[in-house]
Amino acid sequence: MSRRTTARALPLLLVALLALLPAPARADARNPVLVIGGYAADTTKLEGLRSWLASQGFTAYSMVLLGNPSGTAAIPDSAQAVADKVTQIRQETGAAKVDLVGHSMGGLAERHYVKFLGGLGQVGTYVDVGTPEEGDWAGTLCSLYQGCRDMMPGSAFLTQLNTAPAVPAGLPAYHLYTTSGTGELTALPGATNASIQSFCPGRSVSHADEPIDGATQQLIASALDGGPLTTTCP
């Protein structure tokens, strides 16, 4: 083979060799994230959390629970809506799993989905924020609606939901809350439980403002990234 022919063949040989090498890992291997609102969700605040996660590089979606106002439908029905949304996101993105962030009642709906509607194999990380794991008597204020009755302590829905294990084994789970809350102060067995104030002493965060609180947002992001939980308390 002539020197000129060899020179021409070398680039082709290099291309062939490179094709045999394994593909480089994706720089962003995060799962898509679904943010789920609670009872009578403030969609502006919900969008605030979703857009902040997007600004941090997450592929983020949001939804509200069923009913008018949102969350008034039976929570198992809302859990099915969560299941349907996760299926849609997986089909749209090609992701094997979706991470969940549920605020308040949204956490109860996502946990029902994980435990009883086949969500365990489709969810990567479970985060709930301000969720009343064993219910909240505030549900009596809207007890006209099934969703609120489901949220009352001792309801048939919560009795089933909290049957051990409260969170399936092997699922990374986080329960974040503000000490200004009520029902959300109860820990979620099997999860990492942490108050915002344990990181930012004296910080004033209302239950309603958790989705737009900067420290809470950072704690959520660090949970989605596998921990440890961190925040600069902005």
Lowest mean pLDDT, pick from 13-22, 77-86, 216-225? 13-22
The span from the CA of 122 to the CA of 55, in Å, is: 24
Question: Does the structural domain 33-224 have CATH classification 3.40.50.1820?
Answer: yes
Q: Do 82 and 48 form a contact (C-beta atoms < 8 A)?
A: no
Cβ 95 vs Cβ 38: under 8 Å: no
What is the tens place of the pLDDT at every residue in 70-114? Answer: 999 999 999 999 999 999 999 999 999 999 999 999 999 999 999
Short-list 134, 110, 127, 138, CA closest to 193: 127
Q: How far apart are CA 147 and CA 220, in angstroms?
A: 25
Q: Tell me the whole-structure pTM to 2 decimals.
A: 0.87
Domain ranges, ordered by start, for the chain: 33-224
Distances (CA, A) of 71 to 5, 11, 15, 26, 182: 73, 62, 57, 37, 18
CA geometry: angle 141, 134, 167, nearest 5 deg: 140
> Could you report the per-residue pLDDT of 18-37, keeping only the tens digit for each?
344 333 333 358 999 999 99
